[in-house]
Structure 1
Amino acid sequence: MLGETRRYHHGDLRTALVEAGLRLARSGGADALGLRGVTRSVGVTPNAAYRHFADRQALVLAVAVEAQGLLARAMLDRIGVIEPDAEPGEQALERLRAVGLGYIHFALSEPGWFELAILTKDEPGEEAASVRIADAVPPPYQLLLDVLNGLVEAGVLSPERRAHAEWACWSAVHGFADLVTRGPLHGQDRDVIDKLAAHVVDTIIAGIRAGAD
């Protein structure tokens, strides 16, 4: 889907524009998503895009939804390699670890897509718009909710401590991702970053374990 840029001839122009937007955003983030540049990359005029998107922001949000899906896929890929025969409580904790490390790894590996999925920018003067799929919960956030609910089902996290736990978890991993993608840890040796990322996620898990004792 995201290989070499293809000229658009016939078919689904909306999909072609979104795919072109993903290619451009991969290296340039949201700033790379100008209507002129996106339409040029598929060989149509900017006016053609208005048949599918009301304005640039609508295109940015459509591409951001796809970036969210890619982020969720990266998290699911880590979940997919968890040992299936582990004790249910350990499996549940490993899924939380996979979600956290998958989030951070995606931010490091695909900063352009990560910025788009999580920190979508708006044009100056526009009202801020959150990235949503209709009225649905974004897939990466839904994964975190599901994993935390799984901890309750496995008896690792009490229902009382489950309340709002997603915000503590997300704040920790997103804060660290922000530090390494554009903060004071940006450019640090990758081995060091990986160790610090594991420490951040394991600290969250240690807190959950302590509450289960």
Structure 2
Amino acid sequence: MIPGPHPYHHGELRAALIEAGLALARNGGPEAVGLREVTRSAGVTPNAAYRHFADRHALVLAVALEAQDRLAQAMLDRMDAAPERPDAAEHALERLRDVGLGYIHFARSEPGWFELAFLTQDEPGERPGVTVADGVPPPYQLLLDALDALVDAGVLTAERRENAEWACWSTVHGFADLVIRGPLRTQPPEVVEHLGTVAVETIIRGLRAGQQQPGVESDL
């Protein structure tokens, strides 16, 4: 028996459709997010979605942006849970470390949301809706802030800071993709955990090459 339309107050339906999209994407990735599937899950007719989303593409982008927010929050939670380090340089390095490891951990624990957040393709000729050209995604902003904090703490020079975010993001995103879709997906969790730490520490060593700070040690 098909349930009747669910009554939503003004402004609630859009949020409900996005939540329904997240629930579908959690196990099925971007391909699972369709207008019919989302509206059925929310308990409304397909026509109801068109009051908020012009088409499936607009819906997927909205759900992807919410997935980005969830990723950023997971990274923040890891950063906030880290013990306070009294030394400014050590604190800044720990923040960058947690940004990278938090990104990888989210990809491992929520592969459907992770794939949706950054692997959504924009339509040809459209202004990108999920990439950095249309604003800074929250997870990417956390990376920028962590790198800027390294400069403020004297760990990284302004010259070496330039474009460092792309090397960092490429490394952790590539590693995450190997874990959820590549050859690392069959490896035991402890192996993946170790290799992820190695990847992040390699980034940190590269950033600090030639400017080691006294008293600041890598975790590896």
Query: TM-score w.r.t. structure 2 length?
Result: 0.88
What does 1:173-192 align with in structure 2 at a 5 Å threshold? 173-192=172-191
Aligned-pair distance for 1:133?
A: 9.0
Indicate the larger mover: 79-88 or 46-55.
79-88
Classify the secondary structure of the residue corresponding to 1:106: helix
Aligned-pair distance for 1:35?
A: 0.4
The answer to whether the Cα contact below 8 Å between 2:72 and 2:139 also exists between their aligned partners in 1 is: yes
Classify the secondary structure of the residue corresponding to 1:205: helix
For residue 30 of structure 1, what is the amino acid of its counterpart?
A: P
Partner of 2:76: 76
Partner of 1:3: none
Q: Give the whole-Å Cα distance in 2 for the aligned partners of 1:133 and 1:161.
A: 21
Q: Give the whole-Å Cα distance in 1 for the aligned partners of 2:207 and 2:19.
A: 40
Q: Which runs of 5+ in 2 are unaligned?
A: 213-220
The answer to whether the Cα contact below 8 Å between 2:127 and 2:134 also exists between their aligned partners in 1 is: no
The answer to whether the Cα contact below 8 Å between 1:65 and 1:133 also exists between their aligned partners in 2 is: no
For residue 41 of structure 2, what is the amino acid of its counterpart?
A: S
The answer to whether the Cα contact below 8 Å between 1:8 and 1:43 also exists between their aligned partners in 2 is: yes
For residue 49 of structure 1, what is the amino acid of its counterpart?
A: A
Partner of 1:63: 63
For residue 105 of structure 2, what is the amino acid of its counterpart?
A: H
For residue 34 of structure 1, what is the amino acid of its counterpart?
A: G
Partner of 2:113: 113
Q: Give the whole-Å Cα distance in 2 for the aligned partners of 1:169 and 1:134.
A: 18
Partner of 1:203: 202
* Aligned residues with identical type, % of pairs: 66
Q: Give the whole-Å Cα distance in 1 for the aligned partners of 2:103 and 2:145.
A: 15
Q: Give the whole-Å Cα distance in 1 for the aligned partners of 2:6 and 2:158.
A: 52
Aligned-pair distance for 1:114?
A: 0.0
What does 1:154-193 align with in structure 2 at a 5 Å threshold? 154-193=153-192
Query: TM-score w.r.t. structure 1 length?
Result: 0.91
Classify the secondary structure of the residue corresponding to 2:185: coil
Q: CA RMSD in A?
A: 1.9
Q: Give the whole-Å Cα distance in 1 for the aligned partners of 2:146 and 2:132.
A: 20
Q: Give the whole-Å Cα distance in 2 for the aligned partners of 1:41 and 1:25.
A: 12
Distance 1:180 1:152, change over 3 A: same
Aligned-pair distance for 1:135?
A: 4.0
Q: Give the whole-Å Cα distance in 1 for the aligned partners of 2:27 and 2:89.
A: 39
**1:9 to 2:12 alignment:** no
Aligned-pair distance for 1:126?
A: 7.9
Classify the secondary structure of the residue corresponding to 1:212: coil
What does 1:77-96 align with in structure 2 at a 5 Å threshold? 77-96=77-96
Q: Give the whole-Å Cα distance in 1 for the aligned partners of 2:132 and 2:167.
A: 23
Q: Which runs of 5+ in 1 are unaligned?
A: 1-6
Partner of 1:143: 142
Classify the secondary structure of the residue corresponding to 1:54: coil
Residues 113-159 of structure 1, C-alpha deviation per residue, up to 9 Å, x if partnerless? Answer: 00011101457x78684415994311000000000000000000000
For residue 89 of structure 1, what is the amino acid of its counterpart?
A: A
Classify the secondary structure of the residue corresponding to 2:81: coil
